[in-house]
């Protein structure tokens, strides 16, 4: 008997570039016409993109947003190596080959909850994708803290939606989050104006501390960012005994579960396991990773 439930769940699309422009801070916003991915992608998933025909491997990029009606997918990337450097030179109208959407997305509780979204640096895109989905669901009361050392590649403004318990220096928010009705604050250790001078986990701690225990028990943490930040998120979750999902990254080759190159060590039932970030993740239960 053949087990075929997983078959034909990832799609190769020849995606025309709609635009690929540099944002403040040096990140690039890439918009692709990829109707299947746009329709199927969930927050936390990623695409695997051919950036440069002279490189043997694709590059995994997390999804920032989708518009199923328009059939477009937005990605935000920071050029760091040859693949992403070459990607900055690709122009509107050129075709990029992508596989997607890949991976286990963030999973939301069925009951009313208080999702606490924590994003850092290049880990912000999937957190914003999740925020957008949460905004469309009146069931939940999300809140976000986003940290960056580079200028935020999004419009910011003075926050109007209140978040109790925070230092007054954390005054700014992302305009998109505010428009979605999601109270949000920013942090940076690079002295960016309107930002808390510290880590997102410190802002989260301030907020969690002042919550009544019954309200705090409704909180689930969703985090994506550098590994030390995710370790801090997991520690915060443990301190308050909160569920926590983290989205990881790792050097990746195939992106479809074939090569076992992108593993992370997890603990399940007291036993170590090596799980693939591409298809077993990228979103994992923080308690199994940290």
Q: Is 112 in the site for another protein (CB under 8 A)?
A: no
270 binds another protein (CB under 8 A): no
Q: Which two tokens stand for residue 83?
A: 């693949």
**Binding test (CB under 8 A) with another protein, winner from 95, 135, 231, 256:** 256
Verify binding: residue 186, another protein, rule CB under 8 A: no
56 binds another protein (CB under 8 A): yes
How many residues sit close enough to another protein to count as binding (CB under 8 A)? 39
Alpha carbons 188 and 197: distance in angstroms, whole number: 5
Does residue 210 bind another protein (CB under 8 A)? no
259 contributes a contact to another protein by CB under 8 A: yes
Give CA–CA dist 45/226, Å, rounded: 17
Tell whether residue 95 is a contact of another protein (CB under 8 A): no
Burial 86-103 (b: 16+ CB within 10 A, else e): bbbebeeeeebebbbbbb
Nearer to another protein, 67 or 265 (CB): 265
Among 73, 174, 262, 286, binds another protein (CB under 8 A): 262
Query: Pick from 37, 252, 283, 286: which binds another protein (CB under 8 A)?
Result: 252
Q: Comparing C-alpha atoms, which of 46, 83, 81 is closest to residue 61?
A: 46
Binding of another protein by 58 (CB under 8 A): yes
Cβ of residue 33: shortest distance to another protein, in angstroms? 18
Residues 172, 159 contacting (CB under 8 angstroms): yes
Which stretch, 67-75, 141-149, 210-218, 255-263, contacts another protein (CB under 8 A)? 255-263
Cα–Cα distance list, 50 to 28, 84, 87, 97, 207 (Å): 16, 10, 9, 6, 41
Instruction: Provide the β-strand partners of residue 66.
Output: 73
**121 vs 41, 81, 111, 118, CA distance in Å?**
21, 16, 30, 10
Binding mask 231-250 for another protein (x = CB under 8 A): -------------------x
Q: Which residues bind another protein (CB under 8 A)?
A: 1-4, 6-12, 50, 54-58, 97, 99, 250-265, 272-274, 279
């Amino acid at each position: 008997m053949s087990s075929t439930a997983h078959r034909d769940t990832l799609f190769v699309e020849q995606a025309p570039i709609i635009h690929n422009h540099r944002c403040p801070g040096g990140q690039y916003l890439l918009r692709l016409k990829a109707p299947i991915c746009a329709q199927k992608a969930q927050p936390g998933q990623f695409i695997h993109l051919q950036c440069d025909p002279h490189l043997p491997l694709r590059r995994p990029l997390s999804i920032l947003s989708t518009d199923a009606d328009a059939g477009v997918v937005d990605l935000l990337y920071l050029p760091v190596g040859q693949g992403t450097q070459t990607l900055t030179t690709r122009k509107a109208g050129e075709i990029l080959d992508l596989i997607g959407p890949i991976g286990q997305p963030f999973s939301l509780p069925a009951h009313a909850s208080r999702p606490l979204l924590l994003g850092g640096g290049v880990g912000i895109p999937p957190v914003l994708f999740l925020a957008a989905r949460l905004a469309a669901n009146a069931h939940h009361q999300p809140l976000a803290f986003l940290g960056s050392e580079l200028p935020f590649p999004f419009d910011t403004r003075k926050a109007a939606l209140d978040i109790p318990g925070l230092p007054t220096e954390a005054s700014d928010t992302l305009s998109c989050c505010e428009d979605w009705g999601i109270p949000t604050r920013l942090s940076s250790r690079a002295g960016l104006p309107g930002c808390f001078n510290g880590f997102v986990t410190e802002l989260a701690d301030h907020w969690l501390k002042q919550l009544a225990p019954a309200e705090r028990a409704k909180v689930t943490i969703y985090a994506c960012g550098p590994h030390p930040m995710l370790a801090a998120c997991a520690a915060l979750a443990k301190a308050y005994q909160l569920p926590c999902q983290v989205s990881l990254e790792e050097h990746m080759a195939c992106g479809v579960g074939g090569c076992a190159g992108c593993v992370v060590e997890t603990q399940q039932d007291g036993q170590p396991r090596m799980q693939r970030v591409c298809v077993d993740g990228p979103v994992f239960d923080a308690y199994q990773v940290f």
